[in-house]
Structure 1
């Protein structure tokens, strides 16, 4: 049995880190052809099989070969646990991980993995025994022991992120938001770019009362700069960007309302509407308040946005359907406002029709699409 670190194992490790798992498996196969009792090569081979599609059974075989040579080899036990889960023998992993803890009670990963899996195993067994789902979520009794294992993993390895992730999941399922927030802070202290914790902290800040769409978009853009591959952060930025676009539609509706005011389309009983057609000067003056609305409400607001938010706004319009619908509705409302305000109408029947044609399609969906981004 080989006990040293063979150059082939180092080469396989380098290929594994590059995610070239098939090549790493080939190197390990060559090494095992030389020395079939190299436990370290067998453990690495099991790890590679787990990364490749439809090779879970081969991973389990490699891990069990390693354990046949070294029954108390902790890395081999860890790979066997992963392989058992991958082949659908999940409940058996509990015994394997408890054996890891027995052999090496100071090894944090055994506690963290058992904390992460034990409540799932209990829920799985419950479902098999009762033939049904858990009523009302995961019972606290299923979480208690898992929580203790997570705490022990944190005690043994306070600088490792995974135990905190396990503890956060347990706290979240238990509904303990205070503890979950504290664990998120601990995770971000260790890994400032942690995608999950960063997304949760950003979502909480963006959803706080009084946070406007531009502020929320900035929060998400800053978080995405740190974790650019986070799908949840990108989704949050898309939603905040969509809220900004919906604001443009309100400006368009105000422009339409001002056009209606210009022509006195609706007057109170006893009030004499202004004489038509409206003079050219009054029609041109319409552009003063409307121009101010668009300059302050849209252009200035857009220019003050972070570059990343502006880029995402443009990208969102190309990627999603509802943002294009919103812009189309805004453009339609503005077009109707221009028709009402700039044509020298001699009577109000047609302008009233144009007003409703511009208002109704937009107003009909303005509440329905509040959370739409697609």
Structure 2
């Protein structure tokens, strides 16, 4: 019986890692023709079937051949559990995984895999026994049982990310947010670029009460620097960038309100409205607060943004129709504000129309477009 890894099996393992399953199977077929008792070759053959369209039947056949040669081979047993799950025999995996733990009580992965699947198995069993309805007490008991096993996996493999991932999932399913946060910290300690843990931590920080859009965008941009291919981080950056664009609309509406106040657009009790038309100096002076608002609220703020956030703002405007709508509404409101203040009106009828024309489109969509960030 072959115990060492044959060069052909080693090459097949590399090909499987590259998802070149057909080539790997050709190598393994030749190897097994030479030595049909090569357990590692049978295991690797099963892995090619699991990776290529998840062919459970072929994978099961290969692992059963391996286990026929050595029923206590840990690698064969673990691969067999994957084949059972893909092959529609998921409930059988618990017994096999408990056998792995019996044979290798100090091997962390057996515990981690059992914890990962056990609570799912308990829920399936509960649903099957209760007409498709999972009982809460069964779910709680299953998660508690799985958590104890996951903690043992962490004790045996304190530097193994997968053990913490399983513990995080169990804590999250249990609603124990504090424990889930501790698991995320442990995961990021071991793997600072772990995509899912980094995404969860960044989302939590970016959506915390009081966090402004620019801060949220910076958090997501920092996370993307570590995980540039992370879809959740890109979506989060888009959402924060969209909030920044919505902020521009508020600036425009503030300028519109100042324009209305500048020519006493609406009469108040006990006060006499300014005489129209306003003199040129007054009309020019009305531009000053608007310039300050845009200079401090938009230009300076934009210049302080990280380069990646500024690039994403421009990209979002090109990609997202609602971003262009919001930007257009801000521009329209500012145009109305400028017309109200800079044209020497002799009566207030047209300025009032302009005021409502600038205000209503934004108010009509201000809350509706809140979720339209991507």
Distance 1:134 1:279 in 2: 76
Q: CA deviation at 1:54?
A: 4.9
State the secondary structure of the residue aligned to 2:368: coil
Unaligned runs of 5+ in 2: none
Q: CA deviation at 1:280?
A: 2.5
State the secondary structure of the residue aligned to 1:229: coil
Q: Partner of 2:59 in structure 1?
A: 59
Distance 1:15 1:101 in 2: 30
Does residue 117 of structure 2 align to residue 117 of structure 1? yes
Structure 1 residues 162-171 or 359-368, which shifts more?
A: 359-368
Q: Partner of 1:332 in structure 2?
A: 332
Map residues 273-284 of structure 1 onto 2, 5 A cutoff: 273-284=273-284
Distance 2:332 2:26 in 1: 63
Distance 1:253 1:164 in 2: 49
Map residues 1-374 of structure 1 onto 2, 5 A cutoff: 1-135=1-135, 139-374=139-374
Q: CA deviation at 1:141?
A: 0.8
Q: Count residues in correspondence.
A: 374
> RMSD across aligned C-alpha pairs, in angstroms?
1.7
Q: CA deviation at 1:26?
A: 2.5
Structure 1 residues 222-231 or 276-285, which shifts more?
A: 276-285
Distance 2:318 2:25 in 1: 43
Structure 1: which 4+ aligned runs deviate by more than 3 Å? 135-138
Contact in 2 for aligned 1:184/1:197 (Cα 8 Å): yes
Contact in 2 for aligned 1:138/1:173 (Cα 8 Å): no
Which TM-score applies when normalising by structure 2?
Answer: 0.95
Contact in 2 for aligned 1:321/1:373 (Cα 8 Å): no
CA deviations over 1:216-270 (Å, ceiling 9, x no partner): 1111111111122222222222221111111100001011112212221112134
Q: CA deviation at 1:164?
A: 0.8
Contact in 1 for aligned 2:256/2:355 (Cα 8 Å): yes
Unaligned runs of 5+ in 1: none
Distance 2:87 2:291 in 1: 66
Q: CA deviation at 1:336?
A: 1.5
Contact in 1 for aligned 2:55/2:86 (Cα 8 Å): no
